[in-house]
Structure formats: structure tokens, C-alpha cells
Amino acid sequence: MSASPIVLTHPLVRHKLTRLRDKTTSTAGFRRLTRELSLLLAYEATRDLALVPRDICAPSGPMVGEELDGKKLCFVSILRAGNGLLDGMLDLVPSARVGHIGLKRDHDTLEVSEYYFNMPGDVPGRTCIVLDPMLATGHSAAAAITRVKEAGARDIVFACLLAAPEGVAHMQEKHPDVRIVTCSLDKKLDENGYIVPGLGDAGDRLFGTRDR
């Protein structure tokens, strides 16, 4: 049985998300808020990373601390909007490897096609956190995770700013083993496949351009 998505309820998340949704927020402000929210998302998405003991010498003497086990993390950005979350994640875990998946959604049929795929060679030994600001229909996210699994990943988290119930349901059907971490579970999708109330097109607002 699929687990319910993890929805962040911290006051800072709710405050920053409200400002992010505001259509009067500038491109620079949108980028900054996205980066700040990605740090908070990363904190939750990495909660279950394994730790191993490590002997160190603290200023007051020897002690046993803890550090991450194994090869740690790979962040996987779904282009183009996933890059808006990537910088903040790397601020928190600068040693992580990074993969990129380019997906294009047909605005009429909502079908997804791939135009770019590049992943580190040691993905099987890492927890992969797949990044996209929006989980709308779920088709892009599910397609990306299928490709990540084909590259050998077994421990996968999907992190997004907003999710729609329809997207969550699709992801749980296609990939019930993947944890979903989001800042908000919104009401629904509109007739064009956009999240309501949402925040508009995340890529357009991040980069000040229109994805054609």
C-alpha cells in the first residue's frame, strides 16, 4: 500500500509558500523563495538517510559522532523547472551528485516525451531525490522516476513545492515505493492540467520566460 505524501506544515514553509503563490512576486523574489523552500524540502527528504558511527577528537576530548553512510545522495532535476530547487538542495548537501532529465509535456494531450537524460554512473549506491516544483498530472514525474529506476536507483524520493491529488494518485499507482515530499497538497487540477490554486507556471516564473 502506498504511503500518503509528506506535507510540510512548518510556519516558515507556509509563510514562504504564500509569498511564492502571490502573482505580484517578482522573478528575483520567486527564485529566492524557491531556493529557501528547497532547503526546507531537503531537510525532510533526507530524514531517513543512514548514519554510521565515527570516532573524532572534539575540543574537550575523544567522542563517537555520526556521519552519512555510503555514497549518500544524487539530486535529479526534471528540466527545466527542477533546476529552481536544485541550488538550494546543493547548498545543504554540496557533495551530492546531480542528474538531469529533460521532459516535454504536450499541452493538448498532456503526454510526456524525453529529450535529455544524464545520470551519474554510481546511482545504484545512492538515494535519489527527484526534483520538480509541481506534481500536477504526475505523468512527467512518473516517467522521470521510471528512467531513474532504469539507471539502477532503488531508493527514491520525489520532492516538489506543490502537489495535486490527481498527481499523487498517479504516482502512487505507477511507483508506490517512492516517497513524496511536498510543501502543499492543493485542491485539484483545472481543465488544462494546472494545479488549483497553484502558483502559475513555475518555469516561467523562475526564469522570466515562456516555455514553448
3-class secondary structure, 8 = coil
- The answer to whether residues 95 and 82 touch, using CB atoms and an 8 Å cutoff, is no
pLDDT the model gives residue 20: 95
- pTM to 2 decimals? 0.90
State the catalytic residue, choosing from 24, 108, 109, 212: 109
pLDDT the model gives residue 68: 83
Q: What is the pLDDT of residues 29-58, one digit of tens each?
A: 999 999 999 999 999 999 888 889 999 999
Strand partners, 56: 63
Q: Compute the average pLDDT of residues 135-160.
A: 93
State the catalytic residue, choosing from 204, 205, 210, 212: 204
State the catalytic residue, choosing from 19, 32, 35, 105: 105
Q: What is the overall mean pLDDT for the chain?
A: 90
- The answer to whether residues 103 and 78 touch, using CB atoms and an 8 Å cutoff, is yes
Asked about 105 being catalytic, the answer comes back as yes
Residue ranges for the binding site for 5-phospho-alpha-D-ribose 1-diphosphate?
80, 105, 132-140, 201
| pLDDT of 134 above 90 | yes
pLDDT the model gives residue 16: 96
Asked about 204 being catalytic, the answer comes back as yes
What is the rounded distance in angstroms from the CA atom of residue 204 to the CA atom of residue 137?
A: 18
| Percent of the chain residues past pLDDT 90, beyond the cut | 68
Q: Provide long-range contacts, Cβ within 8 A and 24+ apart, for 21-29.
A: 21/197, 21/198, 21/199, 23/200, 25/205, 27/205, 27/206, 27/207, 27/208
Contacts of 7 (CB under 8 A, 6+ apart): 182, 183, 184, 185
pLDDT the model gives residue 45: 92
Strand partners, 180: 158
Residue ranges for the binding site for uracil?
195, 200-202
| Percent of the chain residues past pLDDT 70, beyond the cut | 94
Asked about 48 being catalytic, the answer comes back as no
Q: What is the pLDDT of residues 2-31, one digit of tens each?
A: 678 999 999 999 999 999 999 999 999 999
Q: What is the pLDDT of residues 60-113, one digit of tens each?
A: 999 999 988 766 889 999 998 899 999 889 998 888 999 999 988 776 666 778
Contacts of 28 (CB under 8 A, 6+ apart): none
Residue ranges for the binding site?
80, 105, 132-140, 195, 200-202
What is the rounded distance in angstroms from the CA atom of residue 121 to the CA atom of residue 152?
A: 9
Q: Give the CB-side neighbour count of residue 206, counting CA atoms within 13 A.
A: 19
Q: In the chain, what are the domains?
A: 6-193 (3.40.50.2020)
pLDDT the model gives residue 95: 86
pLDDT the model gives residue 71: 66
pLDDT the model gives residue 2: 67
